[in-house]
Amino acid sequence: MKVVVGLGNPDLKYQNTFHNLGFMALDRVANLLGANFTKEKFRSIIAETTINGEKVLLVKPQTYMNLSGEAVREIVTFYKLDLNDLIVIYDDFDLKAGELRIRENGSAGTHNGMRNIISLLGSEKFSRIRVGFKPETNIQIPLIDLVLSGIKPEDKPLFNSVLDLAGSAGADFAKGASVQEIMRKYNRKN
């Protein structure tokens, strides 16, 4: 079994914000795999499919970003999931806008949703796809306001491009590609 989680916030007002880049990338994974988000379970909206006889769950936690770990832990516990079969896609201020970084494990950095997942799973040893959104110029607003701000129309082509790559990386993981293979293929700088 493979589980691909995209992080975001459930309300419509957050739909086009940087904090929902994980949801946006997961929509691309679902599209590539022909899966639809039709189930509500584990405090998440879930798309389910089967690839080469293996069950795949695409998960959008509905717990709000800072409590994402609650939904992820429920799934990991229920399915007795090996953390090698989990990958999380999320926005990352520590990377420049348009950068994509896949890692086998690591810290949460500045991301509260990842901090919550790591805390509740009791481990950093799961893969992640980080979608950068740090602006090139210094920002004059608090980070919390930036992550909840909308993506500007002029920046959409850049983010659509990196989200397409993140979606392809997530789909490759769901199809059984190794994280090392995915890292070689997709890690890129802006």
Binned at pLDDT 50, 70 and 90, residue 25 comes out as: very high
Structure tokens at 181: 């293979």
Cα gap 186→141, rounded to integer Å: 31
pLDDT digits (tens, 9 = 90+) for 47-58: 999 999 999 999
Cα gap 138→123, rounded to integer Å: 33
Binned at pLDDT 50, 70 and 90, residue 190 comes out as: low
Check if the beta carbon of residue 79 is closer than 8 Å to that of residue 121: no
pLDDT over 70 percentage in the chain: 97
111 part of the active site? no
Phi and psi torsions of 98, nearest 5°? 95, -10
pTM for this predicted structure: 0.95
CB neighbourhood size of 132 (10 A)? 22
Q: Does 1.20.140.10 match the CATH number of domain 2-186?
A: no
- Catalytic residue, candidates 2, 19, 28, 101: 19
Which residues are 49's β-sheet partners? Answer: 56
